[in-house]
Structure 1
């Protein structure tokens, strides 16, 4: 494995002089618009494997699906908020009998996903997680949003994204998040795509504190379940954290 070149690292705050908040979001959208086809091809060929895994029962992306299935009823209604260019998790849940939908802000992602999965034509929509969502309150039993919030600045997460996801989640519902962990911003040369990429890095405690304001609490690990905060290192290599939160029942 060839390690990436780290081009810029700002560990002081969520903004640096050469990477503004808007630039990072714009860079992410541009990356997916250009790389949707290659990204979908890579995702279609294998499930991501990780190293430095903090939970003995977690091995790869299939365990992200298993984690959610442990917490929701069969056939539950779900949303992948940021489904990406393959909508892989949308398709997997849908195939297993869940009432599953996906949204993404990049038109090329939706188009590419539908080329792979035409059966999702009525289940994938364009939507922007930095804007109010066009779903009624209490629409979904669960929401997954994996490797997505690393493209959204903290102000948007606090003021729009998390309030909106909470609004459309049913009482007692579950949100699963996976994101790059750390402080500040990071730019790398991603050798898998031969492309430069930039990310926000967030400490899970910061994200959990924001979610707690909206009545969402961490699902703990119990008897070996995939609960608590799980840390993994991806192929780039970058540290990611994974956890589920549950909305307070009414």
Structure 2
């Protein structure tokens, strides 16, 4: 009869795979038998290596916290393994929600005043004005349809590919990942109208500005990520 637990060695330790199609109680029983067998084999050895790294893989099945606790207790009490993690090939609802938020464009319509902070887990489109002392932060890119007089921090988790699109005003502060720049004097183009620009990290790892007509050339994947805004 096929066992519901399979143990294989890797360069980093061992991987224990649990059959996703078998009832949990059967998995526990087979795991118990496997650990007993290993314990008996270890008794015959003069030296038993302790603290061997072990990862448990559950395939397309998500275990409850109670089930994980039972597996963890059995491994810790009946083996020399040090359990590193229990992983599955599917996402929990919370993980799926977090992934969706970090890969979607969030839209907000509001005015951000001094002392207020607006934060997004992915890209964000703000329709409104950011006053001096106001802050907008995103782990992805920031698109502002309005004046930026406060702080816009894109890629705050370290994403150097993020950009900031806004009506940049004098004294506005732009941050992308760890790079920072303050608008000292708002420039005008030759026609006397405001030039629409975006901020980005260039190939020299310097925060730079270009016209929106260069956005697709500099960030060719940006249209796909943001649903084709540009």
After TM superposition, the score normalised by the length of structure 2 is: 0.24
Name the larger-Rg structure: 2
Higher helix share: 1
Q: Which has the higher contact order (CA 8 A, sep 6+)?
A: 1
After TM superposition, the score normalised by the length of structure 1 is: 0.23
